[in-house]
A and B are shown apart, each in its own frame.
Chain A
Amino acid sequence: NAGVMQNPRHLVRRRGQEARLRCSPMKGHSHVYWYRQLPEEGLKFMVYLQKENIIDESGMPKERFSAEFPKEGPSILRIQQVVRGDSAAYFCASSFLGLRTDTQYFGPGTRLTVL
């Protein structure tokens, strides 16, 4: 019973490049959440998606960041023109129905380093 999968685990980009982070939810889960963890901080919510829909992007920076969860394939968090301040660990979580009672299960995270 595979858990939430994220890849790559580590990603290095130079300033100005694009970063693409992938998340495959647990089997049977159709709700995905993205979080960002800066050094020495807790996780901060970014965006909540269902298949083909963005439900809540209240934590997403207005520029350069986008997320999608297509009908087929993993959820993608895309960061365009990365800057040093984007260096962080990005975590994906999934839940079964997205109901208020659902527990979110986390992936191992992608550590992004911007040079």
Chain B
Amino acid sequence: AQTVTQSQPEMSVQEAETVTLSCTYDTSESDYYLFWYKQPPSRQMILVIRQEAYKQQNATENRFSVNFQKAAKSFSLKISDSQLGDAAMYFCAYRFPGGGADGLTFGKGTHLIIQP
């Protein structure tokens, strides 16, 4: 079974600084998808960024970028120039599109605190 591990229950960063959130996963598959979702206090789940495992290039969305290390099964999220609005729970998620299981597998989340 696939598992997703986020080893940092909580992270704190100064406004305008850069922070990296860690995520590792366990899979025997070679073709899969990885995601970072943000859950602010409103509890809405918002897609931040996605990465296809077959792509070597790391995904980037404005201030958000990933460091995807396929061999190490690592998928970290870097947030540059942190803003107060970035404060939220961040969930790493995995999806293997096959084997009869179509849902996302989520980690337990990292609570990101932005210090003004």
Q: Are B91 and A35 in contact (CB under 8 A)?
A: no
**Counting CB contacts under 8 A, is B33 at the interface?**
yes
Query: Contact: A58 with B91, CB < 8 Å?
Result: no
Q: Is the interface of B mostly helix, strand, loop or mixed?
A: strand
Q: Is the CB of A43 within 8 A of B45?
A: yes
Please, what's the 1-or-0 string for A28-48, where 1 marks a CB less than 8 Å from any CB in chain B?
000001010000111111101
Number of A residues, CB within 8 Å of B: 29
Q: Is A69's beta carbon under 8 Å from chain B?
A: no
Number of interface residues of B (CB under 8 A): 27
Instruction: Output the nearest chain A residue to B43 by Cβ-Cβ distance.
Output: A109
- Please list the 8 inter-chain residue pairs (A to B) with the smallest Cβ-Cβ separation, ordered nearest first: A45-B103, A100-B97, A42-B106, A106-B45, A48-B102, A43-B106, A56-B102, A42-B108
Given known contacts A42-B91, A43-B91, A59 and B47 CB-to-CB distance under 8 angstroms: no
Q: A96 contacts the other chain (Cβ, under 8 Å)?
A: no
